[in-house]
Structure 1
Amino acid sequence: MNTSQRFEVRIDRLLAKGRAVLETHSPNPPGFVSFPKLEHGAFTEWRAQSLSLLTNLLGADHVYVASFRQEVEGRFASSVKAGLGILKAVHEDLEDGFLTDLQTLVSAEVFTDFLAMAGHLLAREYKDAAASLCGAVLEEGLRRMATNRGVKVGARDDLSALNQKLAAKGVYTRLVQKRLAVWTDVRNAADHGRFSEYSKTDVTEMHTGVSSFLAQHLT
């Protein structure tokens, strides 16, 4: 089951849970005029889990997340029905491939796996293979960042060119650009067999730095 399918399954469960929340209302006492409220615990649990999923999937600023926060406030049937409508819309967009942020999420998931592999290589003293792998992950991460931010890049743009273009567009600072240039030098040395030009410590710092950089910027 891929990432998109896991989210679809989770949304299906939240849709079922939301419908169950609608069944928790109790009639008002005789002579009491008010909208009947839903059971507090069930409503709060469903709302919190739904918001968590939407935020993890789409980011806190996405229109679906903002709509859910706004529409699903009080413990009323109308609030839950509005939330169910939003969850259904997200499920439909996932199925149709319209949630582009998910592609970034999948990329980040894959990058984490490859960086973990690089960490295992380092632990086994394979610094050269680890350096090449970290460099490849960084290059693909920069390419993904450029695509997400509308920075035009060519198929032949290498790690150095991507770094220069993103820094020029203000995606990150010149200081960060210099740090990435150091990692680029290590990667290039590894790819061209110049293994004596860097140490295991250099690769370890690169591995830690690339992991932190992508976690911060690949959004």
Structure 2
Amino acid sequence: MVDGASRENLLNYARRLSADIKADMDWHSSGHGSGGYWTVANHAALSKVMAKSAAALEFLRRYAGDESSWTHRANAIYDSKGDGQSLESGAHAVGDLLEEWINQVESGANEILGERQWSEVSLVGTDIMSQVRRLLEEPRSHPAAPIVLCGAALETALRSAVDAHGLELRNRPSVAAYTSALRSAGLITAQDVKDIEMCAGLRNSAAHGQFEGLSPERAGLMEQMTNLILRRLADIQLVQGDFPGRG
């Protein structure tokens, strides 16, 4: 599963964002039954509301999904100024939508975008790599076996990271294509790319029967490098520091 602390940080940030949007608003009755609109006292407060609303809309796009009904409704209600009431009324409604999204995520009725994909990264780190460790500890195991398994774990984790962030591939699915997409999005470093390419090259040698340069030592190095890359990918899962209040 996705790291519980990261998930809670994400939802706590959404709660604060919703509260901040509505914090300085006052309700003005129109004098006709229950009609009225939300407003703030001055331009500085309005600027804050607009900035927080923009952050909320981007949050829903990122974590509820660009094509989700949550994102579509939030954009529509904000653009229409709360169905013509006031800019603040539209922002207030966005805050209400954000709160309801949080409630549904916590109840299990909705999920955070990418959550299932990140569970695959966790599975790779705990299950597949434990199989690699057992192979390395088996004296009769050929070094190609753990190397190929590390390569499979790496490809699965890279694919999950690409899917979780909704990235598009420029070429057919492969380790190289996944790596390129993540690098273009600024999610991994140039050094990460070099490490991944090194592991992919070793995996290809083992998979194609080129055993001359393989050894238990190189298989052990492959395990170490793969674990480092998996931890790096885990660091960019749901919480990347792209919202304040992390930790």
| TM beyond 0.5 | yes
Q: CA deviation at 1:201?
A: 1.7
**2:160 paired residue number:** 144
Q: Which amino acid aligns with 1:91?
A: E
TM-score by length of 2: 0.52
**1:192 paired residue number:** 208
Deviation string for 1:139-168 (max 9, x for gaps)?
111111112223212783221232233223
**1:183 paired residue number:** 199
**1:90 paired residue number:** 105
Could you say what secondary structure the match of 1:172 adopts?
coil
Deviation string for 1:93-152 (max 9, x for gaps)?
x2x342334314421331020011111111114221111111011111111111222321
What percentage of aligned pairs have identical amino acids?
20
Note if 1:201 corresponds to 2:214. Answer: no
CA distance in 2, matches of 1:87, 1:152: 28
Note if 1:210 corresponds to 2:226. Answer: yes
CA RMSD in angstroms comes to 3.1
Query: Are residues 206 and 157 of structure 1, via their aligned partners in 2, closer, same or farther at CA, if it must alter by over 3 Å?
Result: same
- Deviation beyond 6 Å, 4+ runs, structure 1: none
Note if 1:128 corresponds to 2:159. Answer: no
Q: Gaps (5+ residues) in structure 1?
A: 5-51, 72-84
Query: Are residues 190 and 148 of structure 1, via their aligned partners in 2, closer, same or farther at CA, if it must alter by over 3 Å?
Result: same
Higher relative contact order (CA 8 A, sep 6+): 2
Deviation string for 1:51-86 (max 9, x for gaps)?
x95x25x152x1x22256799xxxxxxxxxxxxx99
**1:38 paired residue number:** none
Greater fraction helix: 1
Residues paired across the two proteins, number? 152
Query: Are residues 121 and 177 of structure 1, via their aligned partners in 2, closer, same or farther at CA, if it must alter by over 3 Å?
Result: same
Note if 1:117 corresponds to 2:153. Answer: no
Query: Are residues 149 and 105 of structure 1, via their aligned partners in 2, closer, same or farther at CA, if it must alter by over 3 Å?
Result: closer
**1:14 paired residue number:** none
Could you say what secondary structure the match of 2:120 adopts?
helix
